[in-house]
Amino acid sequence: WFTVLAPSAYIYLGSIWLRAPELQTLQAVAVALAAIQGGVTAALVAALTASLFLLGSALPGRAAAVNLAAVWAVGALLCVADRRLQHVVQWACGYFERAQDLVDETRDRKVALEQALADLAHANRQLALANERSATLRLIAEEAQRSKAEFVARVSHEFRTPLNMIIGLVGLMVENPEIYAEELPPELWRDLEIVHRNCEHLASMVNDVLDLSRVEAGRLTLHREPTDLRELVQDVIQVVQPLAQKKQLRLEAVLPDRLPAVYCDRTRIRQVLLNLVSNAARFTPSGGITVRVVYDGPRVLIDVADTGPGISPQDAERIFEPFWQASSSARRERDGSGLGLSISKQLVELHGGRIWVESEVGAGTVFHVELPTDGRSEPVRRPVQWIREDWPWREAAFKGARAAATEQLTKPRVIVWDTTASLSAEWTRYADVAEFVEARDLPQTLRLLGECPAHAVVLNAASVGDVIRHADALRRESRATPIVGGVLVPPVARAQEAGALGHLVKPVTPADIARALRACGRQVRRVLVVDDDPEVCRLLARMLHTSDRTIDVLAVNTGREALAQMARFQPDLVLLDIVLPDITGWEVLDEMHRDRRLKEVPVFMVSAQDPVDQPPASSYILATMGEGLTVGLWLNCALGLASLMLSPPGRHDRVPAAGPAASQAWADTAWPREQKQGPLP
């Protein structure tokens, strides 16, 4: 308070000491200083003090009144100004506190964001490491799958060769005992029947295991064609009819009057129906079996119903699992591998259908098979084209629009025009490095190209002439798309393509020999058997003599010996093994085709390895685009293809790794330097 009142006192004392009453006019300044220093209260105290000093001064009455008015006016103005100033200060302090809170919150969020970025970077690194590990594990799995396929192929050969001998010789003893000089004792004959039945069961199990391994490996190729389902069902019933008659079972088929052809693999659907109907006959002690076909628009439904013991709900849930057999004694007492229904389910699903079972214990069982009448489904472009698996490594791609646009197309889009309609399973093995869209004919290929450009059109046909013809028609209509063609004939048709009448897979049965003789279309008198195993030659000779005792059989063990014998006499039929010590059976067949005298000789290839197990291969490749290939582009294509063809065998048979390396490898192969100036279409 001294600092508040001192100015007024100094002014008053100064006016007395200097004898200058007019100095009292400065009391308004003292009030202002007091207001500034102490606020409203100090201003009021200073105004009262100044008033007392003015009243006690020697100023005239009018001058004292004016000074009093000035003092209180200044005090009032300063009080009003102080209140507004306090309001402004409070407002500023409030905003300052809020700003301070926002700064603290921003700082906290910045710390949290930095931590989140650090966590994201850590997760990114972990994901990249996980991708590396998954790629490594994938390569290991592919190697294991390849080893498994090789093992299955080797085992199939090793199993089928001795089984061929056992089943063939024992079958001759059981079914044709008259070819032997002595009559077999009844007990020995019954024992041989048991051996023959179990050998056939073992051969069936081997075939089931091979089918299951092919389906799991994605190597089972469907050979679709329009199939008369009525004829197929009647054929299955005719095969199972002897078993049904033996057990006095009723076996009938209920077929609609109007039943269109079903586009499917006739052999595989027959395998499914034969498995279902034969299972029903085996497990039904009395009553009957009914095969009912219902046509419903785009799909057809096949029901196989029996009056057997039925299946419990627990067993019905697992009945389609591999190696699973129902727990009921009625089913366990029958022999079986437990693979038939599992294979049937996968075969039906490969056709785009479904299979399920309805059963009640004691009331019989019904198996339902639903198939599309037209298995050629409309190709659909999937979003997988825009998904990249290596995104943790592509952070720099987002720095610019051009880089992002370049990185956008990571998987090439390829339109596959396969006139053989048999290689769909092969394309799926490479679906992670490219998006394959299937087309059935030229109009559909052009329509797909019009909807969305493609990196290339892959063309497959049954012959070189067909490839050239189709490629030329496509090149004229679509000048901006590369066309790559080949002759990837289904493996099962390789024998027919090479000029043979067919392919016999061991174990060869007398029925197979009889069908081969009928396929010749003429009387067969001389047969040449070519096999490196003398025991197989003896077995085939026995089977030929069983079919016709007048047949003259000559057996040789090498390919060149077979050509030498055919140069001396022309056989009516050749049973030719594929694997020979000197040259292969295919080379023997090529030599026969070069000789005009031997070109028309009927040939059946014989092998222990199923041709379905062999991957398809093309002997030719065609590449064209628009008006043709320039010299530089042609040379670049030639060098790229030469590099691929000279790589180690089997390197490109496995599934390529996805990611930037694979995409760049595709681009380097499919787009030579002259064509990679601009963005991809």
What's the rounded Cα separation, in Å, for the pair 306 and 281?
8
Q: Is the peptide bond before 507 cis (omega within 30 degrees of 0)?
A: yes
Encode pLDDT of 408-438 as tens digits.
445 678 888 888 776 666 666 666 677 788 8
Q: What is the CB neighbour count within 10 angstroms for residue 411?
A: 21
* CB-based contact 513:653 (threshold 8 Å): no
Encode pLDDT of 52-100 as tens digits.
666 666 556 666 666 667 767 776 776 666 767 777 778 888 888 889 9
Give me the sheet containing 365-372, strands edge to edge.
250-254, 288-296, 299-306, 365-372, 354-359
Q: Is the peptide bond before 383 cis (omega within 30 degrees of 0)?
A: no
What's the rounded Cα separation, in Å, for the pair 6 and 4?
6
Q: What is the pLDDT of residue 528?
A: 93
- CA atoms within a 13 Å half-sphere pointing along the CA-CB vector of 266: 12
Q: What is the pLDDT of residue 545?
A: 85
Cα dihedral 419, 420, 421, 422 in deg (nearest 10): -150
* CB-based contact 555:534 (threshold 8 Å): yes
What band does 385 get if pLDDT is binned at 50, 70 and 90? very low
Phi and psi at 613, nearest 5°, equal -75, -15
Pick 130 or 339 by higher pLDDT: 130
**What residues are paired with 289 via a beta bridge?**
251, 306
* CB-based contact 559:582 (threshold 8 Å): yes
- Between β-strands 526-530 and 552-556, what pairing exists: parallel, antiparallel or unpaired? parallel
Encode pLDDT of 440-487 as tens digits.
888 888 888 888 888 889 998 878 888 899 998 888 888 888 899 988
Model's pTM, two decimal places? 0.54
What's the rounded Cα separation, in Å, for the pair 280 and 276?
6
What's the burial of 264, exposed, middle or buried (CB within 10 Å: 0-12/13-18/19+)? Answer: buried
Q: What is the pLDDT of residue 134?
A: 84
Q: Provide the phi-psi class of 152: left if phi over 0, else alpha when psi is between -120 and 50, else beta.
A: alpha
The winner for highest mean pLDDT among 206-220, 348-362, 665-679 is: 348-362
DSSP-derived letter for residue 21 is G
* CB-based contact 25:70 (threshold 8 Å): yes
Closest CA to 420 of 641, 616, 161: 616
Residue 523 token pair: 């009387």
Does 380 have pLDDT greater than 60?
no
What band does 336 get if pLDDT is binned at 50, 70 and 90? low
With a pLDDT cut of 90, the percent of the chain lying above it is: 8
What band does 597 get if pLDDT is binned at 50, 70 and 90? confident
Q: What is the pLDDT of residue 605?
A: 86
